[in-house]
């Protein structure tokens, strides 16, 4: 039986801090909506939920938590939205997601003594993105962007470790994009890939991580 509504695509933007994920995810949703393609933006961490509020306190250094414990909270924050993500995709809405499980894994495993494989565990079973676009920015280019804030993880040494960890994801759904392009050129490049993906997955099942 053919479904009357084609499903939406699950698209993720990843990258180090200040690589332009928030800027591009907002622009992509605007561009898709202009083309009359239903699309919405989701961001992780989602600081508006009960778990997100603890994460926010942790990132802004109001509270301390053990590394593994906060890792599980970041993952739980994604599980809070899991059924909503599936619902939207099934209803034909394309979701542009600003950070996802990959951030969870690369940030925690950049801390000492936390095994990469352990970090992946809690993500098992979440909807698998149809496309992950990793916005790659060299540390020289990163330094040109507005200064780091006071949040946890916002320092060059840690970001370099995070950047290296992203290299461990190598599959056909995970592509690297040069983030050092002007904003609208980059949006156009990303939009082309998003449109191709929307068309490619419309009759395919959503996979699981």
Interface with Na ion (CB under 5 A): 22
CB-based contacts of 71: which residues, under 8 Å, 6+ apart?
Answer: 104, 108, 114, 119, 122
96 binds, among ligand T5A, Na ion, none (CB under 5 to 8 A by kind): none
Give the residue with the Cβ less far from Na ion, 13 or 119: 13
Give the residue with the Cβ less far from Na ion, 51 or 59: 59
CB-based contacts of 119: which residues, under 8 Å, 6+ apart?
Answer: 71, 104, 105, 108, 109
Token pair of 38 as six digits: 């239903």
107 binds ligand T5A (CB under 6 A): yes
CB-based contacts of 30: which residues, under 8 Å, 6+ apart?
Answer: none
CB 170 → ligand T5A: shortest distance, Å? Answer: 20
* Number of residues forming the site for ligand T5A (CB under 6 A): 22
Site string for ligand T5A, 153-172 (x = CB under 6 A): x-------------------
Tell me the angle at which helices 21-34 and 183-201 cross, rounded to the nearest 10 degrees.
Answer: 60
Stretch that binds ligand T5A, among 33-41, 97-105, 111-119, 163-171 (CB under 6 A): 97-105
- Which residues are 127's β-sheet partners? 208
């Amino acid at each position: 039986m053919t479904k009357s509504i084609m499903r939406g695509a699950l698209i993720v933007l990843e990258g180090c801090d200040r690589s332009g994920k928030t800027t591009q995810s907002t622009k992509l949703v605007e561009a898709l909506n202009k083309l009359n393609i239903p699309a919405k933006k989701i961001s992780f961490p989602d600081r508006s939920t009960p778990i997100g509020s603890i994460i926010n306190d942790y990132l802004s250094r109001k509270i301390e938590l053990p590394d593994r414990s906060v890792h599980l909270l970041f993952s739980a924050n994604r599980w809070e939205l899991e059924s909503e993500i599936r619902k939207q995709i099934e209803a034909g809405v394309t979701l542009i997601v600003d950070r996802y499980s990959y951030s969870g894994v690369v940030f925690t495993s950049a801390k000492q003594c936390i095994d990469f494989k352990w970090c992946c565990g809690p993500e098992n079973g979440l909807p698998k993105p149809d496309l992950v676009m990793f916005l790659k920015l060299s540390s020289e280019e990163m330094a040109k962007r507005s200064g780091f804030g006071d949040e946890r993880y916002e320092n060059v040494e840690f970001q370099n470790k995070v950047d290296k960890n992203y290299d461990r994801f190598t599959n056909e759904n995970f592509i690297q994009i040069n983030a050092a392009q002007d904003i609208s050129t980059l949006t156009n490049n990303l939009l082309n890939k998003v449109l191709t993906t929307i068309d490619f997955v419309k009759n395919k099942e959503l996979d699981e991580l």
